[in-house]
Amino acid sequence: MKTANQSIKPITTKINDNGNLEIGGCDLVELADKFGTPLYVFDEATIRSMTSSYKDAFKNYPNMKMMFAAKAFMTKAICKIMQQEGFGLDLCSGGEIYTAKTSGFDMSKTLFNGNNKSYDDLLLALESGIGTISVDNFFELALLNSIAKSKNQTVRILLRITPGIECHTHEYIQTGHLDSKFGFDLTQIDNAVELIIDEYKNLNLVGLHAHIGSQIFEKKVYFDEVDVIFKEIKRIWDKYSIVLHEINLGGGLGIKYTDKDMPISVYDIADTIIESIKIHSEKYGLDEPTVFIEPGRSIVGTSGITLYTAGSSKQVPNGRKYQAVDGGMSDNARPSLYQAEYTVQIANKPDSVADQKITIAGKHCESGDILAKDIILPEINEGDIICFYTTGAYGYSMSSNYNRVLKPAAVLVNNGKSDIIISRQSYEQLCESDVIPDSLN
């Protein structure tokens, strides 16, 4: 069964009677006029379609728990949607913890992840009632136990491991291979377990956690990941008589950015994971555990688009044609960081013949500020509204104030209604943290 991550466009996308692109019942040209550009637009129906697909795909495994990977895109409004959909949250910073807590999210359904959690991060996590902490290294084991002891708390923890599985993704988004900054190597697990047994009495080890990467298009890696984790759980039981009844498989399901991308569906990975759990539970003589997965990109990626207004253009003699827009690498770092590719359409003339090879350039003082290189589009005129699809994940969350450019607004659209979920940054907000020392006055 096909799921929304296999589509480039939000599920409500159409061309309306005005001849403009429309998403969530809202005319994109009108949204650009009302809210300004650059503008992030999120289709609520597509987000909820993906959460529903995950729940339906895993409905035959009652011990499955869904955790939205907040790093993909996190606002208080997204927290509300995830809570309504019955998802927990996978958090990886103090800021994400604070956002979840102040949104009213049930913090018992959260997990704190990350390879270098600070004292302040961990203290905030405990004071906020975090549900579980995924411990990444020996330094964190000692630090977390010390803080928990000082607070007279016992903390539920998972040990994050590197399973040694390498996915065919960009090297920057591979997390499960052996040479990774994340997690305990399998050769270090015994030492960690023994420290928990002998010294760290304020830590309650309940399971193992692994990630195998991001933007994954293959099923077998999930099957293999379950095998690695079950084998380790069985070994720990045999050696220490400790029952680990929870496993976290991470996320990583890919999405479709261009026609070249061929992601699998949620149902594909669900069938593979459930099959692997049943096979390896029987193989190793273990009870079927509570299983957590952490989709992020696949939940919000397809739901989001970014709108820009076309500005200056340049034809290089015997070379490229550049079309500049009013945003760039400050609102979408992925093309510069990962050489990411996108599908682009002109919102105010989506039916026009695409016969021009154009490179979309950002406005920043940086030669590498290119959003799309050598793509085929209709002729672009100054003032046209340019729509980049599939920017819902890691667009706003990676945004910056490079060149002191303001961060864009984000709106949520549904059934013809548009609501601000992130206000456009003002110049006053941009400068509010600046301080001029007295010695300079």
List all residues 6 or more positions away from 85 whose beta carbon is below 8 Å from its beta carbon.
Answer: 48, 51, 52, 55
Q: What is the DSSP letter of 359?
A: E
Mean pLDDT of 154-175: 71
**Nearest one of 138, 112, 115, 114 to 126, comparing CA atoms:** 112
Mean pLDDT of 414-439: 98
For residue 408, is the peptide bond before it cis, meaning its omega torsion is within 30 degrees of 0?
A: no
Coarse DSSP helix, strand, coil percentages of the chain, rounded to the nearest 5 percent: 35, 25, 40
Share of the chain above pLDDT 70, in %: 97
How far the first Cα of the chain sits from its last, in Å, is 66
Residue 52 has φ and ψ, to the nearest 5°, of -65, -40
pLDDT, tens only, 30-47: 999 999 999 999 999 999
Pairing of strands 385-389, 304-315: antiparallel
Which residues does residue 216 pair with via DSSP β-bridges, in sequence order?
253
Residue 345 has φ and ψ, to the nearest 5°, of -140, 155
List all residues 6 or more positions away from 212 whose beta carbon is below 8 Å from its beta carbon.
Answer: 163, 165, 167, 175, 176, 221, 222, 225, 250, 252
Distance of CA 239 to the CA centre of its chain: 37
> What are the boundaries of each domain within the chain?
4-42+304-431, 44-300
**314 vs 39: CA distance, rounded Å:** 24
pLDDT, tens only, 247-282: 999 999 999 999 999 999 999 999 999 999 999 999
Q: Return the pLDDT at 60.
A: 94
Contact criterion met (CB below 8 Å) for 359 and 325: no
Mean pLDDT of 350-361: 96
Mean pLDDT of 377-388: 97
**pLDDT score of 171 more than 60:** no
375-382: list long-range contacts, CB under 8 Å, 24+ apart. Answer: 375/344, 377/344, 377/345, 377/346, 378/346, 378/349, 378/352, 378/353, 378/354, 379/352, 379/355, 380/310, 380/313, 380/323, 380/346, 380/356, 381/310, 382/310, 382/311, 382/312, 382/313
CATH 3.20.20.10 fits 44-300, yes or no: yes
pLDDT band at 172 (very low <50, low <70, confident <90, very high): very low
Q: Which residues of 347-356 are buried (b: 16+ CB within 10 A; e: fewer)?
A: bbbbebebee
Contact criterion met (CB below 8 Å) for 321 and 314: yes
Tell me the torsion sign for CA atoms 217, 219, 224, 230: positive
Mean pLDDT of 173-189: 70
| Residue 167 appears among annotated catalytic residues | no
Alpha helices in 103-259 (DSSP H): 119-127, 138-150, 189-198, 220-240
CATH tag for 4-42+304-431 (out of 2.40.10.10, 3.30.420.40, 2.40.37.10, 2.60.120.430): 2.40.37.10
Q: Return the pLDDT at 118.
A: 97
Tell me the torsion sign for CA atoms 172, 249, 130, 137: negative
Q: Return the pLDDT at 181.
A: 79
pLDDT, tens only, 214-233: 899 999 999 999 999 999 99
**Whole-structure pTM value:** 0.95
Contact criterion met (CB below 8 Å) for 302 and 9: yes
Q: Which of 167, 365, 387, 431 is catalytic?
A: 365
Q: Return the pLDDT at 174.
A: 40
**76 vs 74: CA distance, rounded Å:** 7
- What token pair was written down for 135? 């411990």
Mean pLDDT of 122-148: 98
Q: Return the pLDDT at 169.
A: 47
Q: Return the pLDDT at 177.
A: 45
Q: Looking up tokens 């549904």, which residue turns up?
A: 414
pLDDT, tens only, 77-123: 999 999 999 999 999 999 999 999 999 999 999 999 999 999 999 99
**349 vs 346: CA distance, rounded Å:** 6
Q: Return the pLDDT at 182.
A: 78
What is the DSSP annotation of 76-127? HHHHHHHHHTT-EEEE-SHHHHHHHHHTT--GGGEEE--SS--HHHHHHHHH
Distance of CA 431 to the CA centre of its chain: 28
User: How many other CB atoms are there within 10 angstroms of residue 199's CB atom?
Assistant: 12
Share of the chain above pLDDT 90, in %: 94
Enclosing H/E stretch for 389: strand 385-389
Q: Report the mean per-residue pLDDT for the chain.
A: 95
Q: Return the pLDDT at 175.
A: 45
Q: What is the DSSP letter of 226?
A: H
